[in-house]
Amino acid sequence: MPNLQLFAKTGKKIIGVAANYRTLLKVLKRDVPKEPGIFIKPSTSYVTEGERILIPRDFSVNEEVELGVIIGKKAKHVSREEAMNFVGGYCVALDMTATCRMQEARSTGGSWTLGKGFDTATPVGKLIPTSDIPNPHDLTLWCSVNGTKRQEGSTSDMVFDIPTLISFISKFMTLEENDLILTGSPPGMGPVHKGDIIEAGIRGLTQIQFNVDKEQ
């Protein structure tokens, strides 16, 4: 197995899952979907700790904390029962979202690519070994901005659990070593601005910190 600590440098794709928390669906007043809604973020959107989140000029951006699932080996047509055997590790991630672009995309049925895939839109922490997380469906995710907590939620609230996501995605696209699945975000996300400090983590296990800047 490759050195998964380098997943953010070698992973070919990032797959996001939209609105995957029941509490968020209630806030949005949406029905529970019948299957996961997925989108792709380019690997160029990765940013690791010590680097800045850079908001593109004229963009309005929200933070979203997520549990990242790092794929450990090639997966295609994987059954739900076998799916966890393909997990190489986990990470804390932020799905930075350009709300200005997403509002337009949702209203017109357009692409989410610019809203989700701009440079530095996927800040990630270090790989967490699977041995450190025996049950990834019982974790508390949290996120604060400038010391004020915005998001807190349990992965037990996910509509589609990790085995379901891996099985579903692998039906349509091959998952490869170091690919990242972002499993969705609990409610409470909000705008960030130049000079903000975002902290996020898994309670009792790990946390990340990123400074926010803006293109001139």
With a cut of 70, list the residues of the chain below it in pLDDT: 1-5
The vertex-21 CA angle with 202 and 48, nearest 5°, equals 40
pLDDT of residue 109: 77
What domains can be seen in the chain, in order of their start residue?
4-214 (3.90.850.10)
pLDDT of residue 103: 74
- In the block, which residue shows the tokens 């794929």? 71
Residue 190 contacts residue 204 (beta carbons within 8 Å): no
pLDDT of residue 3: 60
For the chain, percent helix, then strand, then coil, each to nearest 5?
25, 35, 40
Which of 91, 102, 116 minimizes the C-alpha distance to 180?
91
pLDDT of residue 6: 84
pLDDT of residue 14: 98
pLDDT of residue 5: 66
